[in-house]
Structure 1
Amino acid sequence: MKMRSMRRGIKEMDIILSAYADRNLADMDAAGLDVFDALLHENDQDLYQWVTGQVQPPAQFASLVSNIAQTFQK
């Protein structure tokens, strides 16, 4: 998943998701990893809008996207 976080379609998502993966993957439980894996299957343009707060993410990703956004802002 770390490699998939780094090799996205747009550079912005490479940076955002790889920073999140570096800080959090090792500590995630199986359920968290499942949600992150599902998120990695989403379109980069959608992900970028969710993480930057331009569009509300789907409910299943809301908590994870919020955590990713906080990691990116640090």
Structure 2
Amino acid sequence: MDEAEFKKRRLRWKCRRGMLELDILLVNYFNRCYDTLDLVQQQSFEALLEQEDVVLYAWLMGEEQPHDVFLQKLVADIGALRARME
């Protein structure tokens, strides 16, 4: 396994948070979109995964907004995917 594949496996694992709502949103977004993201968007996704579960939940449920503009865009994109899944 090369380094890029190892990194993707690690990120996919980090999408599994133990909170069903987050697991569904993050894993689906990763599976459907990660490979199409540019480098900045991929770095933003990695930064998103470093957040605490309660923070992620608040962002992804629309209760709060991240301060970082790149994270705001990413949260909006995940929300759009969520809307298409419902």
> What TM-score results when the alignment is normalised by the length of structure 1?
0.88
Aligned length: 73
1:40 maps to 2:49: yes
Gaps of 5+ in 1: none
Deviation of 1:59 after TM superposition, in Å, equals 2.4
Identity of aligned residues (%): 33
Q: Paired residue for 1:2?
A: 12
Deviation of 1:9 after TM superposition, in Å, equals 3.5
Query: Could you report, residue by residue, the CA deviation over 1:4-63 in whole angstroms, capped at 9, with x for unpaired residues?
Result: 21x213121001101111110111121111110010000111111111111122224100
Larger Rg: 2
Q: Which aligned runs of 4 or more in structure 1 are off by greater than 2 angstroms?
A: none
Paired letter, 2:34: L
Go from structure 1 to structure 2 and tell me whether the alpha carbon gap of 1:10 and 1:44 turns closer, same or farther (over 3 Å shift): same
Q: Choose which of 18, 22, 25 in structure 2 pairs with 1:16.
A: 25
Paired letter, 1:70: A
* Structure of higher RCO (CA pairs closer than 8 Å, 6+ residues apart): 1
1:71 maps to 2:81: yes
RMSD: 1.2
